Amino acid sequence: MSIVINSPLDMHLHLRDDDMLKVVAPLSATSFSGAIIMPNLIPPITTKNKLIAYRKRVIDASKDSSFNPYMTLFFKPTYSKEFLSKVKDEISAIKLYPAGITTNSEGGVSGFDIKELKNTLNAMSELNIPLAIHGETNGFVMDREAEFASIYEMLALNFPNLKIIMEHITTKESVALLDRFDNLYATITLHHLLITLDDVAGGMLQPHLFCKPIAKRPEDRASLREVAFKAHPKVMFGSDSAPHPQDKKEASFCSAGVFTAPITLQLLTELFLENSNLDNLQKFISTNAQNIYNIEVPKKEVILEERDFIVPTKYGDIVPLYAGEKIKYSIKEIIC
């Protein structure tokens, strides 16, 4: 039996830069129609020139003309309406990181003082630029996302015309927010649908499963699975595939990030066929995102089949999720 996915989209993707970009970009570009590209480079993407130059490097590395990189800027509360008007056509969203909360986020926002944020957020509302947020406080690691709920509420209430995307949600509290505020949306990763904290730290420590936000409890995963499998219209797939070199993962001070890009479609197919259906996978992985972001996407047909695929142990010097293991589905053909 062949399974067809049309124009898949990855609404949260880290492609990095330089040599690593060249390794990882084609892995997403060949099988996806587009992706929201994260701006947390060193230094982050904060100017129009950097954005345009990075977009070109992404396109050059992608080697697939039917892949659309949807670029993002790294949020700064100093962005003026004049600056945003000039950059608007080059971006699909602006990504807000709380300062120091995850990889390369040191230049992010400290404190969430509405007086400090309001000029930029009002300008984004008026210009219709979505705000994507890494929603974690600096509290106890398991509670960070739940604690951030009050900030999501404050932003949703004060900026009712701003589209706010809760990135990579991991808790039942975040799922509950979706139906409380019209302007809140969410991305969900593959790994948070698959694992809980037990998989990361319940036995021998698994550095390749360590990411921010950390995987949570079984009941949180159940809540994520419920909205994903029914393809709630306000949720979309965002892999948060976040490659780091092997020596930065298998180390003291292990970097946060799970590298899933090469196997996302195969594993999502398996998960949805076992727990939901192909129609809902199509919505979760493409249609919902097209509606939420209001984007047209390049046509691409990905055909998968039930055939074992042994996940390579490495791509360059990056170890993927389930390295060396056998998974059930393979990509058979991609038609552009």
Using CB under 6 A, list all residues that contact ligand NCD.
14, 40, 102-103, 134, 211-212, 240, 242, 256-257
CA distances to 29, 111, 186, 206, 241 from 168, rounded to whole Å, are: 21, 21, 7, 20, 11
Cis peptide before 213 (omega within 30 of 0): yes
Give ∠ CA 60-319-34 in degrees, rounded to 5: 35
Rounded to whole angstroms, the Cα distance separating 203 from 103 reads 25
DSSP at 94: E
Q: At what angle do helices 48-62 and 18-29 cross, to 10 degrees?
A: 60
Q: Would you say 187 or 282 has its CB closer to Zn ion?
A: 187
Q: Work out how close the CB of 329 gets to ligand NCD at its nearest, in angstroms, rounded to a whole number.
A: 24
- Cβ proximity to ligand NCD, 36 vs 156, nearer residue: 36
* Residue position matching structure tokens 């092997």: 246
Active-site choice (240, 279, 308, 317): 240
Task: Please choose which of Zn ion, ligand NCD, none residue 212 contacts, taking the beta carbon within 5 to 8 angstroms, the exact cut-off set by kind.
Answer: ligand NCD
Sheet holding 9-13, edge to edge: 9-13, 34-37, 68-74, 93-96, 131-133, 164-166, 184-188, 235-237
- Regarding 136 and contact with Zn ion (CB under 5 A), the answer is no
Residue 198 CB, shortest distance to Zn ion, in Å, is 22
DSSP letter for 291, please: H
CB of 279 to ligand NCD, least distance (A): 29
Q: Is-catalytic flag, 240?
A: yes
- Map residue 22 onto helix, strand or coil: helix
In this structure, what token pair is assigned to residue 77? 């509360």
Task: Give the shortest CB-104-to-ligand NCD separation in angstroms.
Answer: 6
Smallest separation (angstroms) from ligand NCD to the CB of 59: 20
Q: Which residue is nearest to Zn ion (CB)?
A: 240
Residue 102 interacts with, from Zn ion, ligand NCD, none (CB under 5-8 Å by kind): ligand NCD
Residue whose CB is less far from ligand NCD, 256 or 323: 256
Residue 7 contact partner, candidates Zn ion, ligand NCD, none, CB within 5 to 8 A by sort of partner: none
Show the site string, 229-268: x = touches Zn ion by CB under 5 A, - = not.
-----------x----------------------------
Binding site for Zn ion (CB under 5 A): 240
Active centre residues (catalytic)? 240
